[in-house]
Every structure is written in C-alpha cells, then in structure tokens.
Amino acid sequence: MDAGQPVRHRRFSPRVLRHLEVLGAGAPEDRVLDALSTGSFQSVDEIAPRADLPPDDARCTLQVLATAGRVHRAGMLWCGTSYWNDLVVRAREALAAHHARYPLRRGLPAEELRVRLRLSPEAWSAAAHAMEEEGAVRLLGEVVALAEHESRFTPAQERAADLVRQTLAAQPYAPPALADLPGVDAELLEALVERGEVVAIADGVHLGRAAYEEMVAAVLEAIDAQGSVTVAALRDRFGTSRKYALALLEHLDDERITRRVGDARVRGSRAARSRP
C-alpha cells in the first residue's frame, strides 16, 4: 500500500462481533457454545482456543453442558445438540429413502451416507458409532441401515432365491446366467450379493460363495506351487469354461489378489503369501 493512503478496515460481520462480545464478557459455558455454533464437530483442542479457555477448563465445561443436554459428544469430538439432532434426522431420512427404494438390500453404503452428510472420515466414524449406540442406525460392515430395518424376501422372492441357490449348487463352477432364471431380477441378485451368498465376478457373471472361495484358494495354491497360474490351468482344474476362468482372474486382478504378468497371474499386493 502506498504511504499516505488511508487504511481501510473491513467491517466485522455480526457473527464476528458476537464472538468478540462473548469472549470479552461471556461465561465459560457461553464461550464454548459460541465456539460450537459454527455447526460442526470439533475436538477439545479446537474448542479451547476458540473459547479462550485452557483445555482442562474447556473439557470440564463441555461435561457440564453435556449433562445439561446442550452439547453432544461423539467419540472424541463435540458438537451442539441442535446440530447433532439435525444430523441424526438427515441420516435417518436418507436411510429411510434408500430402504423404500431398495427394500431387499441391507443398507446404504457408508461412504455414500458420509458424503451426503458432508462429514470428514474422522467425524463420520465418530458420529456413526454414536448414532448406533443411541439406537438410531445399525452399522453393517460397509453399509448402514436404520436400526429397525429388516430386509426380507417375499414368499415369491424366497422361492426365486432358492432356485439361485440350487442352480449354484448343481453347477458351481460354470452356472448359467442367474438373471435368466424364473423370478430372478437384478434387485434380488444384488440382495444375494450383499448378503454374501453370491459373488459377482463380472457383469452378469456370478458364483456361489463356496465355489468362489474354493477357486480363489486353488489359484493361490497353484501360484505358490508353480510360480503362476493361467486361465487355461484354472479352466482345466475346475472343468469350467474360459469365460468363467478369465472372469475370475480378472476379478482377482481388480481386487489385487492376483497380478497379471504376460498371460499368467502371480500373487497381488493384497494376497499374503502362504507360509510353509
């Protein structure tokens, strides 16, 4: 700035003015509530300087406010009660909509819900476990469901699911296209995949869980014994078709269980080497 020019100060926003007023004259409880009024999760180490309090004082004040129901704790993070209540409502609304659209599925992918709620991974982990402890949701591995949700097949869907199971048991290593079976649709197949009964190894190509695990174990055993495995070797080992052998190995490549080297596969980064 050139010498002699008047210095221009930006006018404080009402939020900043209130914050300064609270810091100057507010009680510790008011300071902490003001620090949390931004509507987000914060740790004690973040709250203390914003409230102009020593960490121990901030921690004690938070406990007092929590007892009074004015703040909420999720793991090692804190937020205002209104923010927490709104977060739970939004999470449950998203889950209810998902269950209504996909009644056979166990739940909504946790990562998708985290993004919808605009939470950092750390905040989501803390909030998700707190919601489960309060009985608002259930955490089911990679998916989240309403605590009261139960995915159940109708009698007709259960008959179709039984037909899938019977087909996979009869032709475990090269089953026909399951979507072509009577009464079987994409939603039913997705539900069986989500339940772990069926594994989708490629678009329209499925294996039963037992056959899948048997074939994966055979792939790794062959690699350990011979240094690598080929599509032809896997096809011959299980009397299947090239379509299934290739689809399985490409699936394992994607999962980093195997790694392609020329026309063969070796162990990938996610497959711990078996010990003698």
User: Which tens digits make up the pLDDT trace of 97-126?
Assistant: 999 999 988 899 999 999 999 999 999 999
Of 1.10.645.10, 3.40.1280.10, 1.10.10.10, 3.60.15.10, the CATH number of 83-146 is 1.10.10.10
Counting Cβ atoms within 10 Å, is residue 56 exposed (0-12), middle (13-18) or buried (19+)? exposed
HEC profile of 138-201: EEECCEEEECCCCCCCCHHHHHHHHHHHHHHHHCCCCCCCHHHCCCCCHHHHHHHHHCCCEEEE
How far apart, in whole angstroms, are the C-alpha atoms of residue 251 and residue 258? 9
Q: How far apart are CA 166 and CA 35, in angstroms?
A: 60
pLDDT for 7 equals 42
Q: Work out the average pLDDT over 72-78.
A: 96
Cβ-Cβ contacts under 8 Å for 106 (sequence gap 6 or more): 140, 143, 145, 151, 191, 194, 195
Least confident of 6-10, 162-166, 188-192, 245-249: 6-10
- Percentage with pLDDT > 90 across the chain: 79
Sheet holding 143-146, edge to edge: 108-109, 143-146, 137-140
Query: Domain 153-276 belongs to what topology?
Result: Arc Repressor Mutant, subunit A (1.10.10)
**Helix %, strand %, coil % of the chain (to 5):** 55, 15, 30
- Please determine, for residue 93, whether its predicted confidence score (pLDDT) is greater than 90: yes
Distance CA 238, CA 136 (A): 46
The ranges assigned to domains in the chain are 15-79, 83-146, 153-276
User: What's the pLDDT at 27?
Assistant: 86
How much is the average pLDDT of 260-272?
A: 91
The class (CATH top level) of 15-79 is: mainly alpha
Q: What is the predicted pLDDT for the residue at 165?
A: 97
Task: Find, among 6, 80, 69, the residue nearest to 41 by Cα.
Answer: 80
If 0-12 CB within 10 Å is exposed, 13-18 middle and 19+ buried, where does residue 141 land?
Answer: exposed
Report, as an integer, the average pLDDT of 241-253: 96
Domains 15-79 and 83-146 share a fold: yes
Please state which of the ranges 23-27, 37-41, 65-69 shows the lowest mean pLDDT: 23-27
Amino acid at 141: G
* For the chain, counts of helices (H) and of strands (E): 12, 10
Checking if the pLDDT of 9 tops 50, the result is no
Q: pTM for this structure?
A: 0.67
Mean pLDDT, residues 204-227: 96
Mean pLDDT, range 173-177, rounded to an integer: 95
- pLDDT, residue 167, reads 97
Average model confidence (pLDDT) for the chain?
89
Q: Does 3 have pLDDT greater than 90?
A: no
The enclosing H or E element of 74 equals: strand 71-74
Q: What is the pLDDT of residue 265?
A: 96
Nearest Cα residue to 62 out of 86, 38, 31: 31
